Amino acid sequence: MTSSSRATGIGRHFEKGKKSLPGAGGGGCPAGGNDFQWCFSQVKGAIDEDVAEADIISTVEFNYSGDLLATGDKGGRVVIFQREQENKSRPHSRGEYNVYSTFQSHEPEFDYLKSLEIEEKINKIRWLPQQNAAHFLLSTNDKTIKLWKISERDKRAEGYNLKDEDGRLRDPFRITALRVPILKPMDLMVEASPRRIFANAHTYHINSISVNSDHETYLSADDLRINLWHLEITDRSFNIVDIKPANMEELTEVITAAEFHPHQCNVFVYSSSKGTIRLCDMRSSALCDRHSKFFEEPEDPSSRSFFSEIISSISDVKFSHSGRYMMSRDYLSVKVWDLNMESRPLETHQVHEYLRSKLCSLYENDCIFDKFECCWNGSDSAIMTGSYNNFFRMFDRDTRRDVTLEASRESSKPRASLKPRKVCTGGKRKKDEISVDSLDFNKKILHTAWHPADSVIAVAATNNLYIFQDKIN
Binding residues among 415-444 for another protein as defined by CB under 8 A = none
Q: Which is nearer to another protein, 114 or 168 (CB)?
A: 114
Q: Which is nearer to another protein, 253 or 281 (CB)?
A: 253
Backbone angles phi, psi at 301, to 5 degrees: -65, -20
State how far the Cα of 371 lies from the Cα of 349, in Å rounded to an integer. Answer: 17
- What is the contact mask toward another protein in residues 115 to 144, using x (rule: CB under 8 A)? xxxxx-x--------------------x--
251 binds another protein (CB under 8 A): yes
**Residue 412 identity:** S
Q: Which is nearer to another protein, 54 or 188 (CB)?
A: 54
CB of 245 to another protein, least distance (A): 9
Q: Which is nearer to another protein, 161 or 365 (CB)?
A: 365
Query: 328 - beta bridge partners?
Result: 317, 335
Q: Are 59 and 445 in contact (CB under 8 A)?
A: no
223 binds another protein (CB under 8 A): yes
273 binds another protein (CB under 8 A): yes
Q: Which is nearer to another protein, 29 or 367 (CB)?
A: 367
363 binds another protein (CB under 8 A): yes
Please list, residue by residue across 249-265, b when 16 or more beta carbons sit within 10 angstroms of its beta carbon and e when fewer do: eeeebbbbbbbbbbebb
366 binds another protein (CB under 8 A): yes
Dihedral through CA 160, CA 162, CA 163, CA 169, nearest 10? Answer: -170
Q: Are 345 and 336 in contact (CB under 8 A)?
A: yes
Q: Are 161 and 179 in contact (CB under 8 A)?
A: yes
Binding residues among 294-323 for another protein as defined by CB under 8 A = 306-310, 313
Among 131, 121, 127, which residue's Cα sits nearest to residue 100? 127
Binding residues among 276-295 for another protein as defined by CB under 8 A = none
The count of chain residues that interact with another protein, using the rule CB under 8 A, is: 39
CB of 270 to another protein, least distance (A): 13
State how far the Cα of 240 lies from the Cα of 230, in Å rounded to an integer. Answer: 13
Q: Per CB under 8 A, which region of 4-12, 203-211, 332-340, 446-454 contacts another protein?
A: 203-211
Q: Which is nearer to another protein, 99 or 116 (CB)?
A: 116
Binder of another protein out of 70, 192, 219, 254 (CB under 8 A): 254
248 binds another protein (CB under 8 A): yes
Q: Are 259 and 272 in contact (CB under 8 A)?
A: no
227 binds another protein (CB under 8 A): no
CB of 234 to another protein, least distance (A): 21
Half-sphere exposure of 389 (CA within 13 A, CB side): 19
3-state class of 121 per DSSP? coil
Please state whether 323 falls in left (phi above 0), alpha (psi between -120 and 50) or beta: left
Q: Which residues bind another protein (CB under 8 A)?
A: 112-119, 121, 142, 203-205, 207, 223-224, 244, 247-254, 256, 273, 306-310, 313, 360, 363-366, 369
